[in-house]
Chains A and B, each alone.
Chain A
Amino acid sequence: MASSIHFLDVKGKPLLSRDYKGDIPSTMLDRFPLLLLENEEANMMQPFIHHQGVNFVYISHKNLYLLAMTKKNDNVMQIVIFLQKVIEVLTEYVKQLEEESIRDNFVVIYELLDEMMDFGCPQVTDSKILKEYITLDYYSLEKHKMLAPPAAVTNSVSWRQEGIFYKKNEAFLDVIESINMLVNSTGQVLHSEILGRVKIKSNLSGMPDLRLGLNDKGIFNEAGSSNAKGIELEDIKFHQCVRLSKFETDRIITFIPPDGEFDLMSYRLTMPLKPLIHVECKFKIHSNSRIEILARVRAQIKRKSTANNVEIMIPIPEDADTPKFKSDGGKIKWKPEESVLVWKFKSFQGGKEYVMKTELGLPSVNDEDVSAGEIFKKKPIKVNFLIPYFTTSGIQVKYLRINEPKLQYQSYPWVRYITENGPDYTIRMK
């Protein structure tokens, strides 16, 4: 596996390094900034670099690069996932993982790196478990008591330790669906998918065994009891606590949850959807003088539902200026630095429709290069929104049974539903 792990700043200057194998000379690391630059210039056809027998596998996080170097034909997926886990874990420790916080906490980070990887092999990356024996503040403890890794590190339930206690036992379930959609300029939906996830915040004592019931067609039909309204989740991914073989044979989701917040499952559904927030946009360019943009937005959801924080980002030419807005709802802002108009609604009731008209001036002297002025038409319109109490797929939590064999306490599950835009909710302009 990886020979070494490095934290580097945005220019590729090393901040902190942990060498696990010592088989790569440090001079290789010095070459990284240059290689990075070269790779960028060469149009970045690969996210990783191979140079003189050394492989540079890196991901970026804010203003940092997290780099793993290896000489062997390693499992690169494993390395990348590990690097991401390192970021996740460290962020839990220091809140903002950046140059300053790395320096401020370098001793703890070293300790964590030692616990998370041994001789290049990932070991424990569960922040909840790591926090049990590696803490930020124990350097300030006067009399330092011996902190040892909990038994969970080598137990079969490696993500939860025993002896957790809450006065009030509660579990909060969030079902969040993000919608990705690609609509062409004529309003035809080219591609639509739902990316859903079930988040749990568990405040439960002891070692509770949970069983989650959903109205998933697969789950219900194959278990015998039919449910015509059930939906079929196409691809499901579960947190490591879920018993996968149990799900495979009986279609039942059972698990002992980690303490605190975690993503229990994610799923994907590709089904034909109507755009929830539909935008129509027309523009007219009066050459060398101004551009007119006409847009209409409609919330195609139930009247009872409301979409919150609706933001419609309409691309405009880079050199446009002096905007004049007119609309029957929402607020319009011009963001010249991103060349977009942002049309905002705090809340947007289902079934409502609004229209806006914007005029922007264009420079009278046009660039020789015609295509530059046309670029904005190639950018799609993006839409952000959040609809509470509603899932697009119709997925529902039927029950969440909580059973702690020893303590036998009363517990309260809470469920919340949210639908929001995914990273790719776009409408093509042309």
Chain B
Amino acid sequence: MATTRDWLLDDSPSSRLQARLGRGYRLSRALMRNPLAMVGALIVLALILAALFAPWIATHSPITQDLAMRLKPPSAEYWMGTDELGRDIWSRVVYGARITLMIVMLVAVLAAPVGLVIGAIAGYYGGWVDRILMGITDIFLSMPKLILALAFVAALGPGIQNAIIAIAIATWPGYARIARAETLTIRNSEFVSAVELQGASSFRVIVNHILPLCSSSMIIRVTLDMAGIILTAAGLGFIGLGAQPPLPEWGAMISRGRSFILNEWWVATMPGFAIVIVSLGFCFLGDGLRDVLDPKHGDRQ
């Protein structure tokens, strides 16, 4: 063990692989020293496991209705009670993890690269390219995200795909801003000039040398944004514009429980706890990642 550790922490790594693994090892060590970040990582891990193994974790079917057992309070049989159609809420919450994870990942996959590329191009070329791209970015940034997403869903029509597209549209400008700021600090560094003098095209400089260096601040920002994305998706589901029934989406589940809130409180309350815990997990993890990857911007503990 000790030799592996020495190899990982070697000050002069002999291969690219060793350097990368060593960096990963140092980061994970630093992350493990931060208790809140570990709690966050565990929550996110639990979300992923729940999504992967939903059929084994759920105790009932998430969609089979049983009207005889409708609106039963939490018990040993139904851990979170049942909803107005007799479905087990625990099982629906577990399956809902799949939908939440899918939304969050798709939004990140759609929005982060777009923002990254736009920001890097604006920062690298500067001048009027920068002015036009950042003008557009700022207009999107100046709108409240939820309202923007709502209006886009209204035009595109309700449904989970459109909700994902709308949230991605509302999310990318933040990433463009960050990527531009990072690019501006990298653009005039000597290694970029060196690559340019070797005759590398702008495309090559941006893709091979600028984008990889933006990635750590992007990872932080995307993780911190996850909570906001989950809340927006749940909000769209709550209003009835996101995931449609019978999909067990957490926001839509809360919306169904609204009519029973005064007596059968568990129907609306339980999925809400899932949202709060998962969002909080992403917040903790994002805060921890920021402290580790970007010490100069972290809050003082």
A, B from the same assembly: no
